[in-house]
C-alpha cells in the first residue's frame, strides 16, 4: 500500500510539475509577445513622428510656394496698373543699378586682365586644344558657336576625366595669392582635372583640417582619392605638377610659362597685381563655410581671374 501511495504521489507531482512547466512556457511566450509589441509600438511611434515632421515640412514648403505665388500675382497686378512712363522709369532704375555694379567691378576686371597678361594666358586653354572654323554646323554631339555664317568649334586631345581614372575630384589645400598654389591650379585647368579647392587663408578656413591630417600648414597640398592609396597626398608644387602630368596628362607636356622660376615670379607678380585678393578671410564670411558642401564652378583660369576670390 505504501508503494502504491508513493506512485500516486509521484504521479500527482509529475502532473503538477508538467502543468507548471506548461504555464511557464505560456508565460514566457506572453512575455516575448509583449516585448515584440513594445518594439512594434516604438517603431510605429517613430514612424508617426517622422511622418508628422515630413507633413510639417510639406506644409511649410506649400506655404512658401503659395506666398511666392501671391507675391508674384501682386507684383504682376501692380505692373499692369503702371503707366508706360512708370514702367520706363522702372527700367531706367534697373539700368542704373547694372551700370553702377559694372563700374564697381571695373578695377577688379582691370587687375584680372593685367594678371592674365603677366602669366601669358597660362591655362586659358587645355592641353591639346585646337580651334576649328567652318561654314557648316559640326556634328550634333560637338559644341559650336555660330558667328554669322561661320561656326566656331574646338576640341582637345585629352580623354574625359572619368576615362583617365578620375572618378572623384582631387582635393587641393591652397592659399589664393601663393604663386606655388597658382602654378598647381593652372596645371589642373590645363589638364582638365576636376578638383575641390580648400582655401587656407592665414591659418583659417581649412588650415586646421590640413594640420590635423599632415601636422603642417604648408600649401599647396594635393590629395588624390583616385590613387591606389586613397589618403595619398603630397606637398611641393613641382612634385605635384610632375605627378599630375604623369598620371593624368596622357603624354601632355607643360610649357615654359607653367613651371620653374619664370612661372613662380610671374605668378607672384600677378597676385600682387590683384592686390593679394583672397589672402585673408572675409569678415562677413560664415564661420561654418568649411562644413558646407562645395560649390561647383565650371571655368578656367581666365574666368577665375575676373571673379574676386573669396575664402
pLDDT tens-digit profile of 172-229? 999 989 999 999 999 999 999 999 999 998 878 889 999 999 999 999 999 999 998 8
| pLDDT tens digits, one per residue of 251-264 | 888 888 888 899 99
CA distance 60 to 55: 9
310 vs 124 pLDDT, higher one:
124
77 cis-preceded (ω within 30 degrees of 0): no
| pLDDT tens digits, one per residue of 19-50 | 777 777 777 777 777 777 777 777 777 777 77
Q: Which pLDDT score is estimated for 308?
A: 45
Opening angle at CA 261, ends 258 and 262, nearest 5 = 55
Q: Which pLDDT score is estimated for 64?
A: 62
CA distance 252 to 241: 12
Output the CA torsion sign for 8, 12, 15, 21. Answer: negative
Cα 24 → chain centroid: 61
CA distance 186 to 124: 8
Instruction: Answer whether 88's CB lies under 8 Å from 278's CB.
Output: no
| pLDDT tens digits, one per residue of 153-175 | 877 888 888 899 999 999 999 99
CA distance 36 to 230: 44
Instruction: Answer whether 191's CB lies under 8 Å from 245's CB.
Output: yes
Whether residue 309 has pLDDT greater than 90: no
What is the pLDDT confidence band of residue 241, given thresholds at 50, 70 and 90? Answer: very high
Whether residue 13 has pLDDT greater than 70: no
Instruction: Report the relative pairing of strands 170-174 and 150-155 from DSSP bridges.
Output: unpaired
Q: Which pLDDT score is estimated for 110?
A: 80
What is the pLDDT confidence band of residue 306, given thresholds at 50, 70 and 90? Answer: very low
What is the pLDDT confidence band of residue 288, given thresholds at 50, 70 and 90? Answer: confident
Amino acid at each position: 500500500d505504501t508503494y502504491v501511495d508513493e506512485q500516486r504521489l509521484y504521479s500527482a507531482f509529475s502532473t503538477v510539475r508538467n502543468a507548471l512547466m506548461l504555464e511557464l512556457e505560456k508565460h514566457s511566450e506572453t512575455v516575448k509577445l509583449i516585448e515584440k509589441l513594445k518594439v512594434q509600438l516604438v517603431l510605429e511611434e517613430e514612424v508617426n513622428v517622422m511622418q508628422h515632421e515630413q507633413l510639417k515640412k510639406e506644409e511649410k514648403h506649400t506655404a512658401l510656394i503659395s506666398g511666392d505665388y501671391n507675391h508674384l500675382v501682386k507684383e504682376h497686378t501692380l505692373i499692369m496698373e503702371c503707366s508706360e512712363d512708370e514702367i520706363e522709369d522702372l527700367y531706367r532704375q534697373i539700368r542704373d543699378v547694372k551700370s553702377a555694379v559694372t563700374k564697381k567691378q571695373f578695377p577688379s576686371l582691370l587687375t584680372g586682365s593685367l594678371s592674365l597678361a603677366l602669366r601669358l594666358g597660362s591655362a586659358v586653354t587645355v592641353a591639346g586644344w585646337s580651334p576649328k572654323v567652318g561654314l557648316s554646323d559640326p556634328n550634333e554631339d560637338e559644341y559650336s558657336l555660330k558667328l554669322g555664317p561661320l561656326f566656331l568649334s574646338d576640341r582637345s586631345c585629352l580623354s574625359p576625366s572619368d576615362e583617365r581614372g578620375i572618378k572623384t575630384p582631387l582635393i587641393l589645400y591652397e592659399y589664393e595669392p601663393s604663386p606655388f598654389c597658382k602654378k598647381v591650379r593652372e596645371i589642373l585647368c590645363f589638364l582638365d582635372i576636376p578638383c575641390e579647392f580648400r582655401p587656407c587663408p592665414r591659418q583659417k578656413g581649412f588650415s586646421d583640417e590640413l594640420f590635423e591630417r599632415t601636422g603642417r600648414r604648408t600649401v599647396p597640398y594635393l590629395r588624390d582619392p583616385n590613387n591606389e592609396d586613397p589618403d595619398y597626398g603630397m606637398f611641393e608644387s613641382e612634385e605635384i605638377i610632375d605627378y599630375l602630368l604623369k598620371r593624368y596628362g596622357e603624354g601632355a607636356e607643360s610649357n615654359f610659362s607653367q613651371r620653374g622660376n619664370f612661372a613662380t615670379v610671374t605668378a607672384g607678380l600677378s597676385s600682387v597685381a590683384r592686390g593679394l585678393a583672397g589672402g585673408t578671410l572675409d569678415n562677413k564670411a560664415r564661420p561654418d563655410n568649411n562644413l558646407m558642401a562645395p560649390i561647383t564652378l565650371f571655368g578656367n583660369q581666365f574666368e577665375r581671374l575676373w571673379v574676386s576670390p573669396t575664402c
